[in-house]
Structure 1
Amino acid sequence: MRTAEKPEIAALPLFAAMDADQRERIFAASFLQVFPPSLNLFDTGQKPDFLHILVDGAVELFTANGDRTTTMAILRPVRSFILAAAYTDQPYLMSARTLSSSRIMMIPSALIRDAIDNDRALMQGAMNELSFGFRYFVRALTDMKLRQSVERLGNYLLVESDERGGAFQFDIPIEKRTLASLLGMTPENLSRAFSALAAHGVNVDGSVVQIVDREKLASFAKPDAFPTNDLAG
């Protein structure tokens, strides 16, 4: 890692409170690289040589079974992935690829395991990361089991609006086929779900969403009673 990059990375939540000498030890052995879009970073079943930290860009976590592939999460900065595999030295349960040009820090897994064991602040940061990840996947599983596809899409749009300060108009930040996979739909079902949301206060033109009646959409989609800023995506 270049010297000029260190202050920015040192300010990231995972590193900010840790011992300066331990942090410098991590930085000395780490890489900060820019990856192009649509690049596979690692595959399911691969041993975790590195802990990845998304600094800029977007990353898709996905898994496959035969010729079927599904999106598990969309990551946005700043977030580590996949800490559970890196810390336990167990194979990845998901694959990862970039969705856009992405700046990613790569820390050798053996080093991050040792640092977590020896630095209380880093251990607390790691616990926060793991907790956010757990809560995200509980929420996603609950969505899949308890909500119909149109309701899942409505909730997704409400979250995207909230992340933009309650914006009533915004661009969908990922391709629609990726969104369909994330929400457990086919692209055709996603198209029908967007059409169905017209009756609940949503207009869609290409990738542009306009929430014309937020109260009506919320009444239909019934957003989470306990929203959190978990694993963004």
Structure 2
Amino acid sequence: MNRIDKLFSRKQSDILSIYFTGGFPHRDSTVDIIKALADGGIDMIEVGVPFSDPMADGPVIQESSTIALRNGMNLHLLLDQVEEARRTVTEIPMVLMGYLNPMMQYGIEPLFKRCKEAGIDALIIPDLPFHEYMRDIRELCRKYDLPMIMLITPETSDERIKLIDENCDGFIYMVSAAATTGTRDSFGEAQLDYFRHVNSLDLSHKRLIGFGISNPSTLGEAFTYASGAIIGSLFIKCLGRTSSPAEAVSLLKSTIGIA
């Protein structure tokens, strides 16, 4: 059973997934960040592949990508670091999140093979069109037991949401708004209506809400309307403000109000 399925089988709600950009703040930070997140009781980890044009990301993650690339991070090195972290962090699901261009340069099937070897449990490619996933990628996901996590937004049609639910595994990434990543003080009524509507579709896969979760209020709403939350920009800020990954995890947890 995939580590994501194992997580969902033992924990039904209040799941917390944390994103960080590989190579930020330093090229060799990856292993220490993964260990600190594991020690801090985080449920799932999203490892970001830095890219020069991260179109779905706001200024905080964009800047972290710029710094990571300047530090010499690349996909080959990042997967080596994940594999090193897996020697001690054995149970927590890890998702590789990145844009299509670096992954195509690596080679899609070689990437799947290497991800499996390194201990990655799923992939998120925000700019992968769904029809290309269906045509070219879905069978690789099944061959290597590496689900492709698809994003939905308030603009995604019910028909497309149901197609994703029927043809993808892992979980569904609910983007809170049709905007880039970044912290927000609260979710508006339109966003809450969107969360409620998706819940009314009776989907078979769990949903995690991401984009904009930065305080106890937005975290609580994500936990109320989905199985969990994904936090990225806030944690990147914490990494930039502290002297160690462990301190960054502590600052993150105190900011969002969890023990």
Fold-level match, TM-score > 0.5?
Answer: no
Larger radius of gyration: 1
**TM-score, normalization: structure 2?**
0.24
Higher strand share: 1
